[in-house]
Structure 1
Amino acid sequence: MHVCVLGAGIVGLATAWRLNRQGFQVSVIDRAAPGAGASGGNGAQLSYSYVQPLADPSIWKQLPKLLLSPSSPLKLRPQLDPLQWRWALTFLAACNARTSHESTASLLALAARSRAAFEAMRADVAPDCDFSATGKLVLYASAASLAGAQRQLELQRTMGSQQRLVTADECIAIEPALASYRARIAGAVHTPSECAADCLKVCTELLRALRARGVRFMLDTEITGFDARDGRVAAVHTAAGDVEADAFVMALGTASHRLGRQLGAYLPVYPLKGYSITVDVDPTPGAAPQVSVTDSVRKVVFARIGSRLRVAGMAELVGHDASIPAQRIEALAEATRAVFPRAGRLEALQPWTGMRPATPTGVPIVGRLAGAPSNMLFNTGHGALGFTLAFGSAERVAEALD
């Protein structure tokens, strides 16, 4: 059985790896190189046990500041785009306790599968990807925010997550590079089992391994449409000609909505634009962090990947604007100076932006959809958890095809 995977980001490549392992003949099509989209410069954290959805009841209190403050990590630029308005309204409707709890349960279950599948991939491919398993700290600046974190922690504990609240002094003991930031820490959630890796390196290594195993790649190839008839897709149209297959998997990130409409499927996937910088670290012990850190106030994540520090954050609803404003990069540099002032020289920052494909609830769309062709499966909408969830959602796609 021939399966054609549309998309060569981490989600598409994880799907291709799983299907190839399962014995399918696999082709992969993408308009760019593997990992060139949202995967390339992402936050590098593998957050298997701490997956609080963006759509959370706390958003309502934060909303005025998030939308109106010039320095806000969240930015909305209203456009004449029905998808943007429909997505935003559905997102706000999802900011309630019940939906947040249901989304948390779904994400944790998928993340647990993804952890096991990612480890299976590492054993199979042995990728050189700066992998580490040093845990994660999520920092909170006030007693009120820490109390909210404790409620989420207790919820996740009932679902199998192992984490605990720690004091500011315990944070420093866990990650000495936080010492100068001690006065800004009311407490943190510590998850010892969390991991980090360079997602772009994983994509590159998967390309190498899959090509060696006979997977066909059509890169720098634009997908233009489909030959759909009798409730099935016979072929995908590309700039290099038609590609026929028995089944197809759409893992096209933010392009999934547009191409899904051609097949009669509505996919509520909208780009959440994010930014990152990558800094060469000072090797002096205690200068740069070894543990992954998330600053909940700044909405910025820090992840050690080898001799580099990845700093990422922000979420902008601005369509597909791929520009990189200097003030956004400076905000990440300033966050680095504030939290880890000795981490490294902030000269060559390697600025990056990517469009995270997000659903309003944060739960990805995996499998078949009503109204879509029966041999088209979807694997999209992972938002900021694409790297974390990619291998788990690939397993679900493979099960649906088996």
Structure 2
Amino acid sequence: MSRSIVIGAGMVGLATAWHLQERGVEVTVIDRVGVAAGSSWGNAGWLTPGKTIPLADPSLWTYGPKALLDPDAALHVPFRVDAGLWSFLAQFAAHGTSKAWDRTMADLTPIDKIALAGFDELQAGGVDSWTREGPFVIGFKEEAHSKGFLHEVAGVVRHGQDVPMERLDTPTELAPVLSDAVKVVYRLAGQRFLEPAPYVEALGAAVVARGAQLITGIEVMDVASTRKPVVLLSNGERMEADSVVIATGAWMPKLARKLGVRTRVQAGRGYSFTVETEKPQEHPVYLPYQRIACTPYQGRFRIAGTMEFRRPDEPFQHRRIQAIIEQAREMFTGVDLDDRQDEWVGSRPVTPDGLPLVGATKAPNVYVGGGHGMWGIVLGPVTGKLLAEQIVTGRVDPAIKPFDPLR
């Protein structure tokens, strides 16, 4: 029996492990902390192919300067001497054009279209957790604030996705948490959501129940490929396998760069917390102008936001939570923003061109899966399926061809 080592126990790594098992591969999963310990834990849990779009767009040239000058801006870049960060920002900004947006959207569309089916397959295969249909409630203070969002949706539709959306006459019909300040509201259908930590933990449990060895609390220090790939652990142990998958999110470059993966992966850190609401909120809420994404979570309401370009292991910046609160306070009612739980920061792996890194490295039988930016949860299951197919059969599915990690 073929044997594979998957490094990283987030959504992408575990989905890859699950699909390798489907193809008869014996799997060991290694994570330096544990299952769902990184950006898979505290995100908004949105399964929204209709919003799985390039992060860089022409509006970057409008709010980009604010990201440098205003520490409370939704997109924040610390002003510091960091050659790697500035190199990433230069490449990222170069993709902030309409032409680049369309090119990247064309490359994302094929995998967007099959993303939700990946969750149905996992559920049918015994993963004991749920995904739920929206609808999603999209709110704005005024008509002018909605133009950017509507333009994005139109671009997604133009590239071939069905994104059902209608304007609501009663703003609080589906979202009693919205305040009177919210005057323009849309209902977005055809998308789903989940509770990310419980879902990824259920996926991990399924992988273990199917025979995988799960090793946590030990870091992989190096991956080498001679006759067979070998991983070197922080305790000095060496493990050999027929294939190795690096799925370590924002930490991918540490292991993958020397294997020919030159595309920079920058941590785009997001923050979240949960609050109580006076009236139950059953549907996700999105405030695009404030860049705040909210989801029902274990009887509470998770509020997530911000994109902060820092190193992945930097300390929690409480000011970022306060920035989200100040933006949210005017838009919500019956929400206790002062009684917060589960305050969290997670490092999402962002690439300059907005495309993931999925496929073979220069080292024989060593692969990477990651670089999804904000879309690792929604694209994780189908990424794992198509990467497992490539590992076992050598076939590269057209949906992941644009994600070649050696590009």
Q: Under a length normalisation based on structure 2, what TM-score does the superposition of the two structures give?
A: 0.89
Indicate whether 1:364 and 2:381 are aligned: no
Unaligned runs of 5+ in 2: 394-407
The alpha-carbon distance between structure 1 residues 309 and 60, as it changes in their structure 2 partners (threshold 3 A), is same
**In 1, Cα distance between the equivalents of 2:92 and 2:20?**
33
| Structure-1 residue corresponding to 2:342 | 350
- Checking the alignment, whether the CA contact within 8 Å between 1:277 and 1:332 is kept in structure 2 is no
Listed as ranges, the matches of 1:179-194 within 5 Å are 180-181=179-180, 183-188=181-186, 190-194=187-191
Listed as ranges, the matches of 1:175-324 within 5 Å are 175-178=175-178, 180-181=179-180, 183-188=181-186, 190-229=187-226, 234-240=229-235, 241-282=237-278, 287-324=279-316
The alpha-carbon distance between structure 1 residues 333 and 77, as it changes in their structure 2 partners (threshold 3 A), is closer
Listed as ranges, the matches of 1:55-74 within 5 Å are 55-74=56-75
- Checking the alignment, whether the CA contact within 8 Å between 1:256 and 1:267 is kept in structure 2 is no
**In 1, Cα distance between the equivalents of 2:368 and 2:51?**
25
1:162 CA displacement: 2.3
| Structure-2 residue corresponding to 1:160 | 161
| Structure-2 residue corresponding to 1:385 | 375
**In 2, Cα distance between the equivalents of 1:126 and 1:26?**
17
**In 2, Cα distance between the equivalents of 1:348 and 1:288?**
16
- Checking the alignment, whether the CA contact within 8 Å between 2:145 and 2:289 is kept in structure 1 is no
Deviates more, 1:336-345 or 1:152-161: 336-345
**In 2, Cα distance between the equivalents of 1:364 and 1:97?**
19
**In 2, Cα distance between the equivalents of 1:266 and 1:92?**
18
**In 2, Cα distance between the equivalents of 1:242 and 1:233?**
12
Counterpart residue identity of residue 234, structure 1: P
1:79 CA displacement: 4.2
1:15 CA displacement: 1.0
**In 2, Cα distance between the equivalents of 1:332 and 1:383?**
20
Identity %: 28
The alpha-carbon distance between structure 1 residues 288 and 324, as it changes in their structure 2 partners (threshold 3 A), is farther
Listed as ranges, the matches of 1:52-131 within 5 Å are 52-128=53-129, 131=131
- Checking the alignment, whether the CA contact within 8 Å between 2:230 and 2:238 is kept in structure 1 is yes
Counterpart residue identity of residue 368, structure 1: A
Counterpart residue identity of residue 302, structure 1: C
Q: CA RMSD in A?
A: 2.1
The alpha-carbon distance between structure 1 residues 65 and 84, as it changes in their structure 2 partners (threshold 3 A), is closer
Which 4+ residue blocks in structure 1 deviate beyond 6 angstroms?
none
- Checking the alignment, whether the CA contact within 8 Å between 1:225 and 1:262 is kept in structure 2 is no
**Secondary structure of 1:139's match?**
strand
- Checking the alignment, whether the CA contact within 8 Å between 1:11 and 1:251 is kept in structure 2 is yes
The number of equivalent residue pairs is 389
**Secondary structure of 2:133's match?**
coil
**Secondary structure of 1:340's match?**
coil
Indicate whether 1:374 and 2:364 are aligned: yes
| Structure-2 residue corresponding to 1:151 | 151
